[in-house]
Each structure stands twice: as structure tokens, then as C-alpha cells.
Amino acid sequence: MIGTTKLSEIRKKLEQAMGPDPIAELDRQIANAKREGKGTEIMEDLKRFIQRARKATRRKRRTGAKK
């Protein structure tokens, strides 16, 4: 069962866990993993996951501003 926690809540909790700048934190983790020859798919997924939400929020705000 995937559970009842909403995706937006999951995003919020992950962002909180990554500190004030989650994208910079993920970039740092990706760079470290690459240096150590480790895979980065999960971190890159998380980065896109957070970025996607930010783009959507910006779009929503822009749409709101036109009204």
C-alpha cells in the first residue's frame, strides 16, 4: 500500500530534511557520489522532483498575477 501521505507532504518533509537550499544540497551529494564513482540516480530523481514542484508553483503564481 502506498499509504495516505500526500505527495506534496512528502516533498515538504524532504525539503525540510535537506536544509535551507535542497537543490544545492542535492548538487553537493551528486558531486560527492560522482567523485566516489557511486550512482546518482536517486539523488537526480529527488532533484527533479523538487524542481518540478518549484516550476509548477512559479507557473501558478504567474497565472495568478495576470488575473
Partner 1 sequence: MATQSPRHLSASRLVARQERIAGIAVALGFVGNVEYRHVYSQTGGAQYARGSTEDDDLLTAYAEAFDRDADPEDFSLEAIIAHERGHQILARHPRIAKLVAGMSLASEEIMASLLGSIICRADIDREMLSAKAAFELVVRGQTSEAADCRLQILRRTLEALL
Residues that bind partner 1 (CB under 8 A): 1-8, 10-11, 13-14, 17-18, 25, 29, 33, 38-43, 45-46, 48-49, 52, 56
Minimum CB separation of residue 64 from partner 1 in Å reads 15
Question: Residue 32: in which H helix or E strand, if any?
Answer: helix 22-35
Residue that is written with C-alpha cell 524532504 in the block? 14
Distance CA 33, CA 37 (A): 6
The residue (of 56 and 58) whose beta carbon lies closer to partner 1 is 56
- Report, in Å, the least distance between residue 63 CB and partner 1: 13
Closest CA to 46 of 9, 6, 10: 10
